[in-house]
Amino acid sequence: MQVFHPSIGSQWIVGVVGQLQLDVLISRLQAEYKVDASFEASPWDTARWVTAEDAKALDEFKALHRSAIAEDRDGAPVFLAKDAWELNYVEGKFPMLRFSATKDRR
């Protein structure tokens, strides 16, 4: 599970691998903290951490895709794609960037 904060200032996004992981989160919130929680589906299907050797290229990408950029809990930029097609398209248009499915915790 990951929590993402969209750059445009909307509600936080809880990213999970599948519905079961979300169900476990809701159950634990209720059992351990007595919190009734519900979640709405987001329009995004995939999240990728975005990095680049050239900071300017990364900043330009983030500005261009502002509505699909979020930050993780460490402030690292994350690109949110609506589907695999969009992710592949964007990766092809920006070969100078790295799109990673996981993030090293160093």
Q: For residues 69 and 62, what is the distance between their CA atoms, to the nearest angstrom?
A: 6
The pLDDT of residue 48 is 97
Length of the chain: 106
Higher pLDDT, 25 or 16: 25
Tens digit of each residue's pLDDT (9 = 90 or more) over 33-68: 999 988 888 889 999 999 999 999 999 999 999 999
CATH number for the segment(s) 2-100: 3.30.70.3280
Name the residue type at position 83.
Answer: D
Q: For residues 33 and 46, what is the distance between their CA atoms, to the nearest angstrom?
A: 29
Residue where the block lists tokens 């936080």? 12
Tens digit of each residue's pLDDT (9 = 90 or more) over 73-89: 999 999 999 999 999 99
The pLDDT of residue 66 is 95
Query: What are the residue boundaries of the structural domains of the chain, listed by start?
Result: 2-100
The pLDDT of residue 18 is 83
The pLDDT of residue 93 is 97
Q: For residues 106 and 17, what is the distance between their CA atoms, to the nearest angstrom?
A: 22
Residue 72 contacts residue 49 (beta carbons within 8 Å):
yes
Q: Is the pLDDT of residue 10 over 80?
A: no
The pLDDT of residue 14 is 87
Q: Is the pLDDT of residue 96 over 80?
A: yes
